[in-house]
Structure 1
């Protein structure tokens, strides 16, 4: 049985960093496109030179000569090559070119009605100018209107989006890399609060700086936790000697005082034992093996019932999990005894839900106020302090049970039932399904 390397531990991918990367990339792309687009439009407005009327005035005057000739002698105009018709040329009218031709004719001599059409698949414009008699002079015209830049502009923007998109994605990946390292480190934190070591010789400067900072944090955090555990263990151990002396001295007290002293010393002894057990559970992983949960629960419920505690075993399905059997037995014992003691009786069931083995411990007690239910795993927590006098216990059983369950890659939740009672739900991955999903502090089944 070996501990899996933290480097090979699969880390759940969070959507938060991915979303941030997408937002950064999208922001960069939009910024680049907006800036380039505005710069392109501004350049077009600044550098696009409007048509000078004097440049096209000779063409307009030639049209005036043809108009005068057609109005005086239509036949001579036709013989000279002019196209005089009873109606204007048919086709798709170009409003911009038509308006421009009217303005030029008015600028160079006489205003008259005129239309310009664009023939399909031809760059040449066809102008129709109204004569005095109501007929029309049709002639070819040059296109002085500015070119249509929108297709080229759209293609230009598409190229910018493609190029800036690739660059922006690379930039977003680089920017969010330290965040991904932090997220992976947080996701890899084990039940004992330790972070896996992160390589400091890969990536850019910001990545290496992040790795170094997290490694320093891991060392300091581990030292702080170990110091706390040593303090708790030492305090629990050192309490035994004065409590032993006090117990001996209590034997010489009067009968009416002796019982109360011994009761208080027994409670102190339980607190010391629980504190030492808590330290042991946080510092020792133990061996894991494939365990059949159904027989374990049946044996456990039978033992608790033999101690005259109200507990029953309900529906139980056959399922194997990868756990430390002694540690799990202790955790379940704490939870079931707590339900039987404080909840007026416990009922235990075992179900298979998807890839999880789910143990439920139900009781019929008064439950816990919703405002306090999040504190149930805190050390020495009691809903009613008066229970210290009527129900024995140090107040660390629930905390120890959670430490064991989480160390065995399980989860525990507690919620109120309707109309009364508590539901404790303990889940473990089914053996074989959890391969590769254990944390760096967990052990693998052989």
Structure 2
């Protein structure tokens, strides 16, 4: 019931049912004299007035008799004992219907042992004496009818409690179906937004929605597609600006490096060359980050255990303390060079900032997990949410001279996310940082050759 569609549907169903209940209640009060709890005199009075209207149109002197042969129109009221209580109730029922015609209700004579005379009324039913009702017409004649009626059915719809329950269930079901259909149609443009958000791929680009259907749905799809196109154009523009700026830095850096070579002081020359090398690494990292943003290509199956072993071997050759502790056969679908760049960045971070890196690769039928541990100071929890920002450094003042532009984690995270995985960083309880890479596992091939794990 927390979705907008469910809430609007519930409100609409309740509103319709309340309106129906109020309408039924209003009709009940309008037709109150005909409702059985007020007595059956109201029903008989209504029938009596209808018969009076018909009898008034009959010319005087015309005989009108019932099926039993009794005269219905008489010049004088019938003789007999008047029942005062029944007469009062009938007069009140006629008054509620707006009639002021005089009325009499006569008691029926008790039955005798002899057979009824021809044309006489039969005895009253067991429900109580109803007698004969005589209504004075405006022209002076009297309408005489037998007061006996069949017992009324119990209050409520036909079929009793079961019939009422079935009628109520049918009404609620019908109202609910109509309300849900109407709300679903009205909220379809909103569902398009949710669908578009769920279909955003790892590259962050919204999908192109089909522009068809009702007017509102087409309008929503057109607006979302226009927004997607503008976002993509804006992102591409930013990437081009960053790539252009990083590329344009190469020329002045080269000139400055040449000029630095002619500085006579060796110590000052070494500092200049070191600063220029750091600027060159920053420009190169920016270009690589842009390349990961826009790079495409067909993925292929990559052995993550072998890739991790190759990275460990390369980093050992340049003097970094890196070791592969475990490497189960693991396969992912992706671009080998990009994945290798991501693993290398993470391992270099652990080796340079954490006094050594320990790698382990494991896999199951659903995912491949690469864990990289170190024994460094870790990352303060207050800064953990910013670690994937470009140019982020834990030491903002750069008091510790460690090579790097602060783009290694950003590039690695971009690569891993584009491969449908995620990178999770956390501080180890005993000290150090734990970097956990999770990637979707690819189908296993025929090559199950294990990777040699070197000594620690």
Above 0.5 in TM-score?
A: yes
What is residue 227 of structure 2 aligned with on the other side? 217
Please state how far the C-alpha of 1:305 moved relative to its aligned partner.
2.4
Q: Distance in 1 between matches of 2:352 and 2:210?
A: 50
Q: Which runs of 5+ in 1 are unaligned?
A: 1-14, 63-76, 82-123, 128-139, 434-446
Pair 1:277-2:288 in alignment = yes
Cα distance change of structure 1 residues 424 and 162 upon mapping to structure 2, 3 Å threshold: same
1:248 aligns with 2:258: yes
Alignment of 1:151-230 (within 5 A): 151=161, 153-200=164-211, 202-230=212-240
What SS does structure 2 have at the residue aligned with 1:372? Answer: helix
Is 1:409–2:417 an aligned residue pair?
A: no
Q: How far off is 1:78 after superposition?
A: 11
Q: Distance in 2 between matches of 1:411 and 1:259?
A: 40
Counterpart for residue 30 of structure 1: 14
SS at 2:4's partner residue? Answer: helix
Question: 1-side partners of 2:340 and 2:152: how far apart?
Answer: 93
User: Aligned to 1:268, what secondary structure does the other structure show?
Assistant: helix
- 1:85-164 equivalent positions in 2, closer than 5 A: 147-149=155-157, 151=161, 153-164=164-175
| Displacement after TM superposition at 1:352 (Å) | 2.4
Cα RMSD, aligned residues only: 3.1
Distance 1:388 1:221 in 2: 38
Cα distance in 2 for residues equivalent to 1:59 and 1:29: 51
Of 204, 229, 234, 2:244 maps to 234
Residue 318 (structure 1) aligns with:
329
In structure 1, C-alpha distance between the alignment counterparts of 2:407 and 2:373, rounded to whole Å: 20
Q: Deviations over 1:166-223 (max 9, x none)?
A: 11221232123212211222222234432222221x1111110111111111221111
Residue aligned with 2:391, SS: coil
In the TM superposition, 1:23-62 aligns within 5 A as 23-49=7-33, 50-51=38-39, 58=83
**1:275–1:396: 8 Å Cα contact kept in structure 2?**
yes
How far does residue 339 in structure 1 lie from its aligned partner after superposition? 1.2
Q: Does 2:372 correspond to 1:361?
A: yes
| Alpha-carbon distance in structure 2 between the residues aligned to 1:44 and 1:61 | 24
In 2, the alpha carbon distance for the partners of 1:125 and 1:319 equals 93
Q: Is the 8 A contact 1:344 1:365 kept in 2?
A: yes
Q: Structure 1 CA distance, aligned partners of 2:282 and 2:213?
A: 49
1:120 aligned partner: none
* TM-score, length-scaled by structure 2: 0.69
Deviates more, 1:177-186 or 1:398-407: 177-186
The 2-side partners of 1:61 and 1:226 are apart by 94
Larger radius of gyration: 2
Kept in 2, the 8 Å contact 1:126–1:141? The answer is no
Residues 300-333 of structure 1 deviation map (CA, whole Å, 9 limit, x = unaligned): 2222223222222223221221111111011100
Which structure has the highest helix share of the two?
Answer: 1
The count of residues paired between Structure 1 and Structure 2 equals 349
Aligned to 1:373: 384
CA contact (8 A) 1:51 1:144 kept: no
Unaligned runs of 5+ in 2: 46-81, 88-109, 115-124, 129-147, 445-456
Instruction: Quote how far apart the aligned CAs of 1:23 are.
Output: 2.8
Name the residue aligned to 1:294. Answer: 305
Please list the CA deviations of residues 231-284 of structure 1 after superposition, one character each: whole Å capped at 9, or x if unmatched. Answer: 111101111111111112222323332222222111111110011111111111
Partner of 1:21: 5
> Relative contact order: is structure 1 or structure 2 higher (C-alpha 8 Å, sep ≥ 6)?
1
- Secondary structure at the aligned position of 1:390 is classed as coil
